[in-house]
Amino acid sequence: MNNYWELSKDLPNESNQEIIGEFLLSLKVSNRSQNTITTYRHFLEHFFGDMKETYLSLTSNTILEWFKNNGAHFSEATLRLRLSILSSFYKFCINENYIDSSPVKSRWFPRLSQTLPKYLEKDEIAKIRNHSEITSLRNQVLVEFLLTTGCRVSEVSELNREDVNLEYRTARVVGKGKKIRFVHFTEKCALLLERYISLSQNSLKALFVTSTGKRLHVRTIQLILMKLGKKAKLKTNLHPHRLRHTFATELLAKGADLAFIGDELGHSDVVTTQIYARLPKREIISLYRKYMG
């Protein structure tokens, strides 16, 4: 199917057909990944394919009854994903002023028991940034890039200077399965990158290099961060993936949608991003206050 963001079948209700088409198109315009949009489309086709009522008149009881009848075989992660998709659809309807409130209730979402993602607290982020400034410009840029892009350490190691676009504040990275995506970084990170690149040898290909001009490999980056973490007197070792979790958690604390976070992280399956939905609601509120005041 070429236009993967378009419904592949007719729904019983024309109003549902139209509004879901608008929602999927909005995901496409927002540059959500094809996999994410396809996952959303498949479930919405399945759910609203059973509904003759318009989305405007669907009650919480009707929706809950559908999940009881059709979701018995769902795992907790799958059930949370399906509810999240439906909740995102209704949030879109609220934002477009089609409805006033969502019939999807937060209490329906199952609590997943797996380990919570380990992220840095706000004061820990400040300590890491401060100590990176003391060591070298390269380390400062490395920390800032990891914190503001959420990249995997392997993606950062393989970055070349030509992959970075300072004007648009984007970088082309090669993720798992050799999938290419563009990540975004902050203005502060762009300024540091510009300074770092201008002071580097013009003949270098790799972005992050050793003092002798050789590419920083994954293990070297891990050791750099571990040393920074010890100097900053963190309670536990600092690993690159902890910065990735921090990036995702900060987005979540600021209200970002899980699908958007998954796209930024380069998750091929939106189920993977559900790890961040395990953070308790009160913890998200606390995080928001820490990051936003």
Measured distance CA(5)–CA(26) in Å, rounded: 9
Catalytic: which of 40, 90, 196, 276? 276
Length of the chain: 293
- 32 is known as an active-site residue: no
Catalytic: which of 176, 188, 195, 219? 176
Catalytic: which of 161, 241, 278, 290? 241
Catalytic: which of 131, 152, 242, 245? 152
Measured distance CA(219)–CA(274) in Å, rounded: 28
Measured distance CA(116)–CA(274) in Å, rounded: 11
Q: What is the 3-state secondary structure of 55-110?
A: CCCCCHHHHHHHHHHHCCCCCHHHHHHHHHHHHHHHHHHHHCCCCCCCCCCHHHCC
180-184 sheet: strands from edge to edge: 164-165, 170-174, 180-184
- 244 is known as an active-site residue: yes
- 152 is known as an active-site residue: yes
- 241 is known as an active-site residue: yes
Rounded to the nearest 5°, which phi and psi values hold at 285? Answer: -60, -45
Q: Which residues are catalytic?
A: 152, 176, 241, 244, 267, 276
